[in-house]
Structure 1
Amino acid sequence: MYQKIGYLAEQLRLFYISDRTDQKFPYHYHDFDKITLFFQGDVQYEIEGKTYSLQPYDIVLVQAGQLHRPIVHNTANYERIIAYLSPMFFEVYRKQGCDLSCIFSEARSHVLRQPQEVSNIYGISCRIRQAFNEKKEDSPILQQTLFLEFMLFLARDVREHHIGYVKTGNQNGKIQTIIEYINTHLTNDLSIPDIASLFYISPDYLMHLFKNETGYSLANYITTKRLLLARNLIQQGFPLTTVCYDSGFRNYSTFYRAWKNLFRTSPRQGTTGDIGKPKIVD
């Protein structure tokens, strides 16, 4: 199973990280949305089986529950600002008539590429970077204020298609179609033989190709996505029996074992205990 990395108790949490590391990040997911403003390094980002090569000032968008990891290719300085964003963060501004969530819902790629020229979004990116390098008493307030300005202009640029987007490298189109099919049919019978038959491929070759293209096994991917759906249903107050079947599991014992294996607690206890400092910020 894939690990949840990073916890969030507030509406917004910002990190500035500039380090030299040969750390290998595992595939993981978050309970919240994440935006990374990348400044420098030799880094690729893998998100839901798609690989993106980053350039300075690229903006990486990862929605809650999406499996992802950065791949750092050498010990060159890896500099980035990371924002953890809770659903309540977006709700606060939606009530004021400003839908910042369009950054995720309307973006044409997981990675946006801003023109490095005189523009609102680029100028704010530079100012945010400078604010994180200042060590003053009011720096945290300035950082959050600038980040909100960044989000406002980013949402505007996304809506008006004034920002570029990064295409993936050479990806297997069939695997991407299979991933899309899985995520839209989680409540269906998603046995490996049935998926293989649907896409005219042998089960063994399907499992090999999926692992080779995405880095994770097909069976674990399906189970993890179903459990994330189940968690959302539990948070909405649905009974556990309903949650079990409505998230694609065929019996409660299988659902219970899978839940406990991933979340380290019982479905009845939920996942409310995972609040604290993040283990890893990627």
Structure 2
Amino acid sequence: MYKKTGYLQEPLKLFYVQDSTEWICPYHYHDFHKITFFLQGNVTYEVEGKSYILKPYDIICVAAGQLHRPIISDQKLYERIIAYIAPEWLYTYQQKACDFSPIFAPSHAPVLRQSSQTETLADTIRRLRQTWYEGQENKLLKDTIFLEAMLYLSEGLKKKTVTTVKLGNHNEKIQQIMSYIHCHLKEKLTIPILAEQFYVSPDHLMHLFKKETGYSVGTYITTRRLILAKHYMNAGLPLTEICYECGFTQYSTFYRAWKKYYRTKPRDRGSSVIDDRPLE
């Protein structure tokens, strides 16, 4: 199972991180949105099985619930600014006519690249980095500069001076299977059913899915169902209804999966043991 990681006890949390370790981060997800301003390094970023080769000042926008991981290819310095963003932070500015939700829209790729016309955005990110270089602990200053960057980013998307990064190597068949799973979580999903639907043998499907995404078909299906269950739970639906709405055929199966994944009981409404550091 892939963990929910990171913590967020306030609407916005900013981190500045740099390290020089060759590392493949495990797949994971967050209950909140996340933006990473990539500054330097030799990094490929994977979101929902799709990979993107990063360039300095690329912006990775991962929506809540999306499975993702960075792959750090060597020991070159990997430098980035990470923002954890609670849904209520977005809602607050939406009420002020600043709708940042399109930044996390599924209609475009999660990795964005600035053109030469967006130097103001790059300058703002550099100013944000400088606050850590100068040892400033002024949270209000950091939050304000980050808000400025979000405004430039939102404007850049509208004017198309910020564009989406093209995919690296990926398998179109696997992307179709993942999309099918997303759309049919409430239905019966098995390897034979998927293999028949996409005209491949079960063995080939299992091997290819694991190779392309890093996780098994069964684990991916269960993970997506539990993320959906968490969404329903936050909306206040009864546990039994959540169980069947998410495609589990028995409550006992749902209970065991939830307890293994979140390390708590469903009736605890999803509180879990999570890392106390910014995991990518």
Deviation per residue, 1:158-186 (Å, 9 max, x gap): 13322121111121111001111111211
Q: Whole-Å Cα distance in 2 between the matches of residues 96 and 169 of structure 1? A: 37
Kept in 2, the 8 Å contact 1:7–1:274? The answer is: no
Asked whether 1:146 is paired with 2:145, we answer yes
Q: Whole-Å Cα distance in 2 between the matches of residues 55 and 124 of structure 1? A: 17
Q: Whole-Å Cα distance in 2 between the matches of residues 19 and 73 of structure 1? A: 13
Residue 270 of structure 2: aligned partner:
271
Q: Whole-Å Cα distance in 1 between the matches of residues 11 and 158 of structure 2? A: 23
Counting matched residue pairs gives 280
Find the residue that maps to 1:112 and give its secondary structure. strand
Residue 203 of structure 1: aligned partner:
202
Deviation per residue, 1:98-135 (Å, 9 max, x gap): 11111111662111011256632122122112222111
Q: Whole-Å Cα distance in 2 between the matches of residues 180 and 156 of structure 1? A: 29
Structure 1: which 5+ runs fail to align? none
Identity between Structure 1 and Structure 2 (%): 50
The within-5 A match list for 1:80-159 is 80-105=80-105, 108-116=108-116, 119-138=119-138, 140-159=139-158
Q: Structure 1 residues 73 and 137, CA, compared in 2 at 3 Å: closer, same or farther? A: closer
Deviation per residue, 1:195-225 (Å, 9 max, x gap): 1101111111101000011111110000000
Find the residue that maps to 1:119 and give its secondary structure. helix
Find the residue that maps to 2:256 and give its secondary structure. helix
Q: CA deviation at 1:156?
A: 1.6
The code of the aligned residue for 1:161 comes to K
Q: Whole-Å Cα distance in 2 between the matches of residues 34 and 151 of structure 1? A: 12
Q: CA deviation at 1:259?
A: 0.5
Kept in 1, the 8 Å contact 2:195–2:205? The answer is: yes
Q: Structure 1 residues 106 and 209, CA, compared in 2 at 3 Å: closer, same or farther? A: closer
Structure 2: which 5+ runs fail to align? none
TM-score after normalising by structure 1: 0.95
Q: Whole-Å Cα distance in 1 between the matches of residues 247 and 118 of structure 2? A: 49
CA RMSD of aligned residues (A): 1.6
Q: Structure 1 residues 110 and 207, CA, compared in 2 at 3 Å: closer, same or farther? A: same
The code of the aligned residue for 1:158 comes to L
63-72 vs 20-29, greater mean Cα deviation: 20-29
Kept in 1, the 8 Å contact 2:117–2:161? The answer is: no
Q: Structure 1 residues 39 and 226, CA, compared in 2 at 3 Å: closer, same or farther? A: same
Kept in 2, the 8 Å contact 1:125–1:150? The answer is: yes
Kept in 2, the 8 Å contact 1:41–1:76? The answer is: yes
Q: Whole-Å Cα distance in 1 between the matches of residues 31 and 249 of structure 2? A: 25
Q: Structure 1 residues 7 and 108, CA, compared in 2 at 3 Å: closer, same or farther? A: same
Deviation per residue, 1:78-104 (Å, 9 max, x gap): 000000001111111111121111111
The code of the aligned residue for 2:204 comes to Y
